[in-house]
Amino acid sequence: MKEIVEQKSLFCLPWAQTILGTHLEGKANFMALDWLTRVNFSPPMLGICVNKNNASHAAIADTGEFSINVPSVDMVEVTDYTGLVSGKRVDKSGLFEVFYGELKSAPMITDCPITIECRVSQTVDLPTNTFFIADIVNIYSEERFLTDGKPDVTKVRPFVLTMPDNTFWAIGESIGKAWNAGKSLRKQLKQEDDA
């Protein structure tokens, strides 16, 4: 028998762990961010949800720019730290070595295997958060994190967060290829249909 889970916010789908980079009053600021999704195929766009109380929210509203940084598993401690303290009270600008691409207010973390610079194109005002929809301006990586020119998850070694247990997880074993694992079932069901 199915039971209703008491708190509607508690579901255990994993989120990709990232670090949001912004410019807060001219200085780099960083915060742990999990609420991120791709929202458009072409041009490539993504969306992030940021709480209105966070300094990062004011920073994005001010500059219209941000970066998404994908940390690897060996960056768990510093990633979590960026989510424990606010740029309103603590200067987080010296935590990472940064570099800049085309955008002046999207500091990217050199140590993160994948970094993405983004320019906000639309905002959706929600009760406690703002959903910032942004164009992906550029994605940066290094040869050592790529296979055949594409980011390789086994080299990037990203991690994910689950709630309500508030746990970080490394990516586990591969269990199949997407757009492929369902092909034999598709064939089988088609044959049954045709029969």
Ligand X SMILES: Cc1cc2nc3c(=O)[nH]c(=O)nc-3n(C[C@H](O)[C@H](O)[C@H](O)COP(=O)(O)O)c2cc1C
Binder of ligand X out of 14, 16, 34, 139 (CB under 6 A): 34
Q: Does 160 bind ligand X (CB under 6 A)?
A: no
Binder of ligand X out of 14, 46, 78, 86 (CB under 6 A): 86
* 137-169 exposure pattern, b = at least 16 Cβ within 10 A, e = fewer: beebbeeebeeeeeeeeeebbbbbbeeeeeeee
**Residues 52-71 vs ligand X: string with x where CB under 6 A?**
--xxx---------------
Longest dimension (CA), the chain: 69
Query: Would you say 48 and 33 are in contact if contact means Cβ atoms under 8 Å apart?
Result: yes
Binder of ligand X out of 23, 28, 29, 118 (CB under 6 A): 29
Nearer to ligand X, 152 or 162 (CB): 162
Q: And the tokens for 63?
A: 């500059």
List residues near ligand X by CB under 6 A. 29, 31-35, 49-51, 54-56, 80, 83, 85-88, 161
